[in-house]
Amino acid sequence: MSDAAQPTAAEVRAAAEAVKTALDRHLAAVERRTGEDDPAVYEAFNELAAAAEEYDELLYDRYDEVTPFEIPGAEEALPPYTGPEEPNALSVLIRRDYTVVEPQRLLAQARRVEAADEEGTPAPSAGTVHGALGVLFGEFEPDEIASRHKEFGLEEGDSTLWVTAADEPAEPGEWLEVPFEQLDPQRVVCRFDVSAVFDEESEDDRLEVDRLEEDLGPDPELDGDLDDDEDLEPLDADR
């Protein structure tokens, strides 16, 4: 990280204070928990993990030091699976984040859809960003929007997919009012996360390897052995 982008000492100190506050909140949540699956404890845990990770990053960027904290990954943060061994039903929960980077492109695509549907002048709903989003997401499947997001003036953000197990399928219309409030973390069979932060970590790892290779430099003895063909014996064609 360049000097211009380094965090200040005050920012590192503020991050340390945030960790202390998160520790107090986590302990308080644990002391008040109502059971093993108390959502307040999970929330406090996630806040503590985020605060510790932020402090660790700022500390390293500013002072080139690290903490002994080990921040669990997404899969490690889930509690042990306690759902049925042979589920009779599954729920798939998907979240995809987008940024509207080209509103005019988004509006133009929505107008085309409405013009094709109505065979006439586009309705006013395609004239606003939120109206255009309703038109496009009503016309195209989420997977198609994900694969064509640039055509719609969107930029992809983080996404996640969770598969949860159930003993019996839900009744028709049972969960439509609150589709995401009945998630039981202990019934999550698997989850898959996509985030730019993973790409950044991989890039950092590659840069670190490149720096190490540059610091070590070439091995003159090895290079000499490879360049000296006179010491190599000819291959035995009959072997």
User: What are the extents of the domains in the chain?
Assistant: 3-71, 89-198
58: tokens are 């700022």
Q: For residue 211, what pLDDT is reported?
A: 64
- How far is 173 from 139, CA to CA, in rounded Å? 22
Q: Please state the rounded mean pLDDT for residues 139-161.
A: 93
Partners of 191 in the beta sheet?
162
Q: Are 12 and 59 in contact (CB under 8 A)?
A: yes
CB atoms closer than 10 angstroms to residue 134 = 14
- How far is 111 from 143, CA to CA, in rounded Å? 21
User: Rounded to 5 degrees, what are φ and ψ at 85?
Assistant: -65, -35
Q: For residue 74, what pLDDT is reported?
A: 46
C-alpha distance from residue 115 to each of 120, 122, 154 (Å)? 5, 5, 21
The whole model's pTM is what?
Answer: 0.51
CB atoms closer than 10 angstroms to residue 219 = 10
Point out the least confidently predicted range of 17-21, 46-50, 51-55, 66-70: 66-70
